[in-house]
Structure 1
Amino acid sequence: MLKKLGFVIFALMFVGICAAGVLYMHLMSWADRPAGQAAREKIFTIAPGQGLKATAHALQREGLVADALRFTILARLDKKDKLLKAGEYFFSTTMTPRDILGQMVEGRVHLYRLTIPEGYNLVQIAAAVAAAGLADEKRFLEAARSPDTAESVDVDAGSLEGYLFPDTYYFPRGLDSPTIIATMVKQFRAAFKPAWEQQAEALGMTVHEVVTLASIIEKETGAPQERPLIASVFHNRLKKGMRLETDPTVIYGIPDFDGNIKRRHLETYTPYNTYKIKGLPPGPIASPGALALEAALFPAQSDFLYFVSKKDGTHQFSRTIKEHNAAVRKYQLGRRKR
């Protein structure tokens, strides 16, 4: 009798083990099959604190997995049920449950592209960040203009104008403005090489002064190859104690500039009006790129003191006021008459 009972128990255990093995193999096979054949891409969000069960049911509702229960079992068997990371993910119905689970465990969240062109100021950068859906425009601008934020990223300035490096970035949604700002400043530090710091010191300039000058060069440059020449004009004027007399600085100091610079703007004092102040303005007027920074540090060797736009993106450079006035008549006044 005991032998029969033992045989029955063994048989049941064997059947149970076999059944469990079959179910496990079935689950593993299911884990490697996508929910659908037709590719449909979806943004899927795991909220902070959201558990495995709720996530599995949400995946099923979105058609990303065929069975929430099996997905839950898969995650628990792999001991990944407590490893899912909150964030926004980009999934497709052609992805397998195993791939979806792995992406959420690794935290490979969807990244949004943000491109900041050379010469953008803080107002324009804040608008670009908001347009990418990464932050509120007003809050970003407030953070970028805050001395506390500047101090937190070790920038010795009243705001971060000029230090949010122009580049293409990829950010997940949900970051706060200071984190986005810190990434851009980190990119600035990566671009501003140690050799450049030494060159700034050799020129008798602080990094802040170099960034300020580079921002003016950036705004004045239409043709990239002219950056070193434009830099040489500003360096020459600074050495001679001449005012820089550059329109972009005047424009920066005008609240709500309408795009039309007038004589009264040139004659109105602001800390940024280089027709009125001597030397550099108190800070950058935009974010210079690497080439503008390099030009500010390594200007061309010239004795030019003036330049005027030829209206084709390039400039005519002059050594004397007489040459400059002739160039103005040729390229500016003459064209207006025509």
Structure 2
Amino acid sequence: MNVAVKIILGLLAVFVVFWFGLNIMIEAPNNNPFGSKKLIVDEGMGVGDIAERLKNEGFTKKDFIFKTYVLLRGLRAEFHPGEYQLETNMNLKEIITILTDERTVRDEVSITIIEGWKNVEIAEYLESKVLFSAEDFLHVANETPNFDYNFLGFKPRTVGLEGFLYPDTYVVYTDSTPEDVIIKMLDNFERKLDAEVMKEIGRQKRDLYEVLTLASIVEKEMFGYENRQIVAGIFWERLGDNYPLQSDATVNYITRKGTTRPSLDDTKIENPYNTYQVIGLPPTPICNPSIEAIRAVVYPKETDYYFFLTTPNNKIIFSRNHEEHIANRIKYLD
């Protein structure tokens, strides 16, 4: 047997021993306590990135073993981005099997929450997307369990999340829980409500919850940022004068009729949300407002207007006094 053959056989023997040892280590039991934990593999992550994330998340201390096994097996291109629910005591081979099996990637769905939707409307919509029941969503949205956000400290403890579930388009997993979806909405709310807005609210010595409550009314009452600023200014002035807001939107919140103009009888309903009968803001927001409505309330436009109406063709008519307002009602609505 010549020297070259001996070297080749020697190297082969070393590789066999190495490969045997590598397989033993890759299948070695994981001594982590039993449990379940999420692992997120982002788009474009390489083997080294995944190995580092596994190590940082506590799934393994053997990131080098993971990388070596994957490279030798030629699995670098087999990993699929997504969110995985892994048992914390899985060995590395079990983890690799899951991460390279496209059947284990969680399906996603896009949802669009419309500006001005109430929590109940969001719940019904999410149920229609076959995510979970409306009842389950409302239970979490009303009970607000363990949501740790500083801005929720402005909310009375006895009320739910109406006003805080930010309307936007989200991509969620089809097996998401109500908590998962609500956290996405609250995270988005926190991003939208930037430091500048919060600082201005504090400068005005206002409370975030009253700002949200008024913004929810402005959201339902008016369209267009400048018009909303004017209406917000009117409402703030009325609040300062202890004059009823007389918001049709608050009456519609009670009756759920979906009409633009409530009837005279509707405006006489005794209810804390009826701002025709009660001076001040309603107890809670009446919907989940957009950042445009929130900013309009934080940065209102000062005018000498005190009343407004919307014509059937969506033209906004502002009035300076009650007599002028009555004349405009007769002209445009009656």
Is TM-score (shorter-chain normalized) higher than 0.5?
yes
1:118 matches 2:120? no
Q: 1:134 to 1:76 in 2, by over 3 A?
A: farther
**8 Å contact 1:166–1:289 — kept in the other structure?**
yes
In the alignment, which of 74, 77, 80 is matched to residue 73 of structure 2? 77
Residue identity opposite 2:302 in structure 1: Q
Residue identity opposite 2:300 in structure 1: P
**8 Å contact 2:84–2:105 — kept in the other structure?**
no
Q: Which runs of 5+ in 1 are unaligned?
A: 21-47, 50-72, 88-99, 334-338
2:180 & 2:160 partners in 1: Cα distance?
15
Give the deviation of 1:74 after TM superposition.
8.7
Deviations 1:208-260 (A, max 9, x none): 01110111000001344411111111112112111101011122233xx3335
Q: 1:85 to 1:273 in 2, by over 3 A?
A: closer
Q: Which residue of 1 aligns with 2:132?
A: 135
| DSSP 3-state at the match of 1:210 | helix
**8 Å contact 1:253–1:271 — kept in the other structure?**
no
**8 Å contact 2:229–2:297 — kept in the other structure?**
yes
| DSSP 3-state at the match of 1:183 | helix
Q: Which residue of 2 aligns with 1:37?
A: none
Deviations 1:132-176 (A, max 9, x none): 332222101111111436x54451231000100011111112221
In the alignment, which of 143, 146, 165 is matched to residue 146 of structure 1? 143
User: Please, what is the CA RMSD of the aligned residues?
Assistant: 3.6
1:311 matches 2:316? no
**8 Å contact 2:214–2:281 — kept in the other structure?**
yes
1:172 matches 2:169? no
Q: Which residue of 2 aligns with 1:196?
A: 197
1:290 matches 2:286? no
1:243 & 1:277 partners in 2: Cα distance?
6
2:295 & 2:247 partners in 1: Cα distance?
20
Q: Which runs of 5+ in 2 are unaligned?
A: 17-35, 38-68, 86-97
1:183 & 1:277 partners in 2: Cα distance?
35
| DSSP 3-state at the match of 2:313 | coil
Give the deviation of 1:263 after TM superposition.
2.4
**8 Å contact 2:79–2:99 — kept in the other structure?**
no
Q: 1:237 to 1:146 in 2, by over 3 A?
A: same
Give the deviation of 1:130 after TM superposition.
2.0
Give the deviation of 1:318 after TM superposition.
0.5
1:258 matches 2:257? yes
Q: Which residue of 2 aligns with 1:205?
A: 206
Give the deviation of 1:322 after TM superposition.
0.7
Q: Which residue of 1 aligns with 2:272?
A: 271
Q: 1:180 to 1:244 in 2, by over 3 A?
A: same
Larger Rg: 1
Give the deviation of 1:313 after TM superposition.
2.2
2:203 & 2:333 partners in 1: Cα distance?
38
Q: 1:169 to 1:85 in 2, by over 3 A?
A: closer
1:108 & 1:314 partners in 2: Cα distance?
50
Matched ranges for 1:221-240 at <5 A: 221-240=222-241
Give the deviation of 1:103 after TM superposition.
7.7
Deviations 1:60-97 (A, max 9, x none): xxxxxxxxxxxxx999935799999647xxxxxxxxxx
Q: 1:103 to 1:219 in 2, by over 3 A?
A: farther
State the TM-score, normalized to the length of structure 1.
Answer: 0.67
| DSSP 3-state at the match of 1:145 | helix
Count of matched residue pairs = 260
Q: Which residue of 1 aligns with 2:303?
A: 302
| DSSP 3-state at the match of 1:171 | strand
Q: Which residue of 2 aligns with 1:44?
A: none
1:247 & 1:283 partners in 2: Cα distance?
16
Q: Which residue of 1 aligns with 2:321?
A: 320
**8 Å contact 2:116–2:288 — kept in the other structure?**
yes
**8 Å contact 1:121–1:161 — kept in the other structure?**
yes
State the TM-score, normalized to the length of structure 2.
Answer: 0.68
Matched ranges for 1:155-170 at <5 A: 155=152, 156-157=155-156, 158-170=159-171
Residue identity opposite 1:247 in structure 2: D
